[in-house]
Amino acid sequence: MLTRRHLLLPVAALLLLAATGCSPAPAPATVGLQRDGAGYAVVVPLCPKGQVVTVSVYDTTDRAADWSISSDGTHGTLDRFPLFTTPPGWTAYHSGLTALKPDTKYHTAFTALGNTKNSEFTFTLTDLHTLKDGEVLTLTDDGTTTLPADKFRTAALKLC
């Protein structure tokens, strides 16, 4: 016979796992952000099995301040484009965010065809300002990190 205590044990175990930080690791990103002259660019690897189909950036304190675009996955050889633009073959869904502000946390999310995991990470304008030429801000198994562009592309293509 199941007692109340038997029913509470699984709940207590889940709460303990959540409290100790034992949760699934976020999926490493197949997309990153990079300095691009005076601005920033979204870097998209050319995945043979699945193209990136959505890119979103939003202010973590104001969800109305967001920028989101999508593609049908047939954008061909596009491998980077300026942040807050809508490249050919893509559609803008939200454009309430047009610039990044200091002291604000932003969340970015990416979805790819052929990849069951969405990639996402949080960043600040300072994170982007500290990027050197040829570096990409992205998510790895170790969290949000900076990688040289060639290492980013190699790692991202393994996830495609």
Residue 126: domain span: 34-159
At 11, is the pLDDT very low, low, confident or very high (cuts 50, 70, 90)?
very low
Is residue 114 one of the residues assigned to a domain? yes
Cα–Cα distance for residue pair 38/86, rounded to 1 Å: 18
pLDDT on residue 28: 53
Is residue 149 one of the residues assigned to a domain? yes
Residue 12 clears pLDDT 50, i.e. is over it: no
How many domains does the structure of the chain reveal? 1
30-53: pLDDT as tens digits: 678 898 887 888 887 666 655 667
Is residue 7 one of the residues assigned to a domain? no
CA distances for 87 relative to 50, 76, 155, 157, angstroms: 18, 11, 24, 21
Is residue 137 one of the residues assigned to a domain? yes
Question: Which residue shows structure tokens 């970015």?
Answer: 108
Is residue 57 one of the residues assigned to a domain? yes
Is residue 151 one of the residues assigned to a domain? yes
Average pLDDT of 7-22?
Answer: 35
65-122: pLDDT as tens digits: 899 988 876 665 567 889 998 888 888 887 788 899 999 999 888 876 665 456 778 8
| More confident position, 116 or 138 | 138
Q: What is the pTM of this model?
A: 0.72
Taking phi over 0 as left and psi of -120 to 50 as alpha, with beta for the rest, 21 belongs to left
Residue 124 clears pLDDT 90, i.e. is over it: yes
Is residue 56 one of the residues assigned to a domain? yes
User: Other CB atoms closer than 10 Å to residue 77's CB: what's the count?
Assistant: 5
Residue 7 clears pLDDT 60, i.e. is over it: no
Is residue 139 one of the residues assigned to a domain? yes
135 forms beta bridges with 148
Instruction: Work out the angle at residue 74's Cα, subtended by the Cα atoms of residues 128 and 111, and round it to the nearest 5 degrees.
Output: 45
pLDDT on residue 16: 34
